Amino acid sequence: MQRVRRAKENKEVVSIAYAGNIVEVWEHFHKENIFIDLGSDQTSLHNPWAGGYYPVGMSYEESNRMMAEQPELFKVKVQESLRRHASAVNQHTAKGTYFFDYGNAFLLEASRAGAEVMSSDGIHFRYPSYVQDIMGPMCFDFGFGPFRWVCISGKQEDLDYTDHLAAQMLEELLETAPDEIHSQLTDNINWIKAASENKLVVGSKARILYADAEGRMKIAGAFNKAVREGRIGAVVLGRDHHDVSGTDSPFRETSNIYDGSRFTADMAVHNVIGDSFRGATWVSLHNGGGVGWGEVINGGFGMLLDGSTEADRKLKNMLHFDVNNGIARRAWARNAGALSAIDRAQKENEQLQVTIPFLVDDQWLDQLI
Ligand SMILES: NC(=O)c1ccc[n+]([C@@H]2O[C@H](COP(=O)([O-])OP(=O)(O)OC[C@H]3O[C@@H](n4cnc5c(N)ncnc54)[C@H](O)[C@@H]3O)[C@@H](O)[C@H]2O)c1
């Protein structure tokens, strides 16, 4: 606190770690008139009644006991706390703090608790989710999402070689990439080049980076070739659920789809079925991923690259669909990045034909009305 006070006096911008109930932190900062530039919440509110969120005013032990012995009362305490939590956040945003939902169901659970988090239309939240502001328009709409692989030999040198190949493939793509995806590519080239030295791997020799369909296919193709040539052992591909296409989640992954279809659950199902026919080694359809049971449907896949020509065919077929299915959906919702990405995808692959929505010229519409 002293450091924050000093920073405040010197008008410095600081980021701080402060232990305590988050509600008290927001309230204390308001009382001390400490300005917060950017705020969010990362309690595990996808699981509000069983330990994801600890109500203000109760100790850890007291909460755990009530959760087990008086679950209904615990629910009341969580909801009381959420109302107080939201009202503390609102005091800051009234002073200019930019608050966003981190995709942990904070706004959803706060709204269910009757907290003041709705906008005046009574339909939308008054704060955006980070997918609406950042991930959607910068990444998902362009097909960029978390592409993963595991070197099943368990050898560090295999992982290092795949890192090298991934960087090389992304650099090749950057040479001809349109400006609108330059930063996504360069960020990921920087990441993958530095990944090994940061020593983040603690178990399986696995890696993740953000790539679009073209990038994923190119990287996977290079891996399969390396397996075929005996440079590395077999590789398994996958992706996170937090991606362009595999997840229908109106409060997170699909929250920047504004045509009403974010409340449907068919994209994840389409992906699972489409991927399974196009060569996935296994698929999964599950529920709850990160935002809570019943709030989201997730479709996933695994694909074994064993160096065969069959794997070459499958990886092109499946990865292309796995990403472009979601871009098509985002293009139907008229998302600008997705309209341009699906246009490029159709030019690159004539077999892909996506019906683009009829776009009315806004100026023309304004004149008419
Ligand atoms: N946006 C994303 O990409 C993304 C990624 C991962 C996780 N998430 C979501 O973020 C949430 C958190 O994920 P995690 O892996 O960090 O979970 P976690 O359970 O490891 O951490 C949550 C922390 O919140 C603390 N906490 C709970 N109630 C609190 C309170 N009232 N005040 C202060 N601290 C409190 C807990 O003690 C715990 O340390 C989850 O809902 C998850 O689904 C989002």
| Single residue among 128, 163, 188 that ends a domain in this structure | 128
- Counted residue by residue, the chain has a size of 369
Per-residue buried b or exposed e for 76-85, using 16+ beta carbons within 10 Å of the residue's own CB: ebbbbbbbbb
pLDDT tens figures, 263-306: 998 999 999 999 999 999 999 999 988 888 888 999 999 999 99
Q: Does residue 357 sit within a domain?
A: no
**Does residue 324 line the site of ligand 1, with CB under 6 A?**
no
21 and 146 housed in the same domain: no
- The pTM of this model reads 0.88
Q: What's the Cα-to-Cα distance from 60 to each of 20, 220, 294, rounded to whole Å?
A: 11, 46, 27
Q: How many domains does the chain have?
A: 2
Q: Does residue 354 sit within a domain?
A: no
| CATH number assigned to the domain comprising residue 110 | 3.40.50.10730
Q: What's the Cα-to-Cα distance from 249 to each of 34, 53, 327, rounded to whole Å?
A: 35, 21, 15
| Single residue among 128, 162, 178 that ends a domain in this structure | 128
**Confidence (pLDDT) at 13:** 65
Tell me the average pLDDT across 39-48. 95
- Token look-up 């991923």 returns 289
156 and 119 housed in the same domain: no
**Does residue 241 line the site of ligand 1, with CB under 6 A?**
no
Q: Does residue 225 sit within a domain?
A: yes
What spacing in Å lies between the alpha carbon of 153 and ligand 1's midpoint?
Answer: 33
Nearest to 46 by CA among 92, 101, 108, 98: 108
**Does residue 54 line the site of ligand 1, with CB under 6 A?**
yes
The ligand 1 atom nearest the CA atom of 21: 32
Q: Is 33 exposed, middle or buried (0-12, 13-18, 19+ CB in 10 A)?
A: exposed
Residue nearest to atom 12 of ligand 1 (CA): 44
Ligand 1: which of 28, 43, 129, 251 to mutate, judged by most atoms within 8 Å of the beta carbon? 43
pLDDT tens figures, 280-292: 999 999 998 888 8
What spacing in Å lies between the alpha carbon of 53 and ligand 1's midpoint?
Answer: 8
Q: Does residue 35 sit within a domain?
A: yes
88 and 169 housed in the same domain: no
Task: Say whether pLDDT at 362 is over 80.
Answer: no
32 and 166 housed in the same domain: no
What spacing in Å lies between the alpha carbon of 330 and ligand 1's midpoint?
Answer: 28
Instruction: Locate 317 and state its tokens.
Output: 């077929």
What spacing in Å lies between the alpha carbon of 44 and ligand 1's midpoint?
Answer: 4
Between 18 and 121, the more confident residue is 121
**What is d(CA 153, CA 147) in angstroms, rounded to the nearest whole number?**
19
What spacing in Å lies between the alpha carbon of 347 and ligand 1's midpoint?
Answer: 42
Q: What's the Cα-to-Cα distance from 276 to each of 20, 93, 177, 270, 283, rounded to whole Å?
A: 47, 46, 30, 10, 6
74 and 159 housed in the same domain: no
Tell me the average pLDDT across 163-172. 98
Nearest to 143 by CA among 154, 151, 152, 135: 135
**Does residue 78 line the site of ligand 1, with CB under 6 A?**
no
pLDDT tens figures, 205-249: 999 999 999 999 999 999 999 999 999 999 999 999 899 999 999
**Confidence (pLDDT) at 1:** 59
Q: Does residue 296 sit within a domain?
A: yes
The ligand 1 atom nearest the CA atom of 46: 41
**Confidence (pLDDT) at 366:** 84
**Confidence (pLDDT) at 147:** 97
Q: Where is mean pLDDT largest: 115-119, 131-135, 248-252?
A: 115-119
Strands 98-99 and 38-39: parallel
**Does residue 102 line the site of ligand 1, with CB under 6 A?**
yes
Q: Map residue 139 onto helix, strand or coil.
A: coil
168 and 194 housed in the same domain: yes
103 and 162 housed in the same domain: no
**Does residue 292 line the site of ligand 1, with CB under 6 A?**
no
Q: 198 is in which domain, residue-wise?
A: 142-348
112 and 150 housed in the same domain: no
311 and 172 housed in the same domain: yes
Task: Say whether pLDDT at 200 is over 90.
Answer: no
Q: Is 271 exposed, middle or buried (0-12, 13-18, 19+ CB in 10 A)?
A: buried
Residue pair 307/227 in contact (Cβ under 8 Å)? The answer is yes
117 and 181 housed in the same domain: no
79 and 44 housed in the same domain: yes
Q: Which of 143-152, 187-196, 251-260, 353-362 is least confident?
A: 353-362
**What is d(CA 113, CA 87) in angstroms, rounded to the nearest whole number?**
12
